[in-house]
Amino acid sequence: MTTVLGLDPGTRHFGWGVVERRGTRLFHAAHGIVHADERTSIAARLVVIELALVEVIAAHAPDEASVETIFFAKDAQAAAKLGHARGVALLVCARAGLDVYEYPPARVKKAVAGSGRAEKAQVAQMVRIVLGLAEAPVGDAADALALAVTHLHRAPIPIPGMKGVRRR
């Protein structure tokens, strides 16, 4: 079994999702959004995010983490802010011994919804179907689950009775 923690960092809403792979099947374990109070300082919000992620990792013991690549050239200020939350995410994962993988948004959309230009709602719907959820998870949590699914689709699956592994 491989358990992957998907993370969609943000300083106000931080999405996370845990997906397990047993054999070739994927299972939803949990997901959520850390809402950090916008009226507090960014430093205080990072503490809230850290605590929440430490708890998620303790509860679900993921093996690996999957985080979105930062790549947008338009706004340095927004990139820096996002970097704060992403930095804390990488820190918490590395401290817990998780290997961290990153995927560009278009790759995630393609892996989950079949097209690099899929809409957000489409991604959430496909996450719902792939993981057999009763309803589509909201925004940032859907993206976090999509990141975990993308990583599990991509990572080599051990074939029972064989020594090697193959890429899907």
Contact status: 63 vs a second copy (CB under 8 A): no
Please tell me the distance from the alpha carbon of residue 89 to that of residue 108, in angstroms, as a whole number.
19
Contact status: 106 vs a second copy (CB under 8 A): no
Tokens of 107: 């790759």
Shortest distance (Å) from residue 97 CB to a second copy = 10
Which 16-55 residues touch a second copy, going by CB under 8 A?
A: 41-44, 46-47, 50
Shortest distance (Å) from residue 99 CB to a second copy = 9
Query: Going edge to edge, which strands form the sheet with 25-35?
Result: 25-35, 13-22, 2-8, 64-68, 99-103
Contact status: 58 vs a second copy (CB under 8 A): no
Q: What angle do CA 142, 125, 38 make, to 5 degrees?
A: 30
Selected range binding a second copy among 69-77, 109-117, 133-141, 150-158, rule: CB under 8 A: 69-77
Active site residues: 8, 68, 140
List of E strands, the chain: 2-8, 13-22, 25-35, 64-68, 99-103, 157-158, 165-166
Residues that bind a second copy (CB under 8 A): 41-44, 46-47, 50, 70-88, 90-91, 93-95, 100
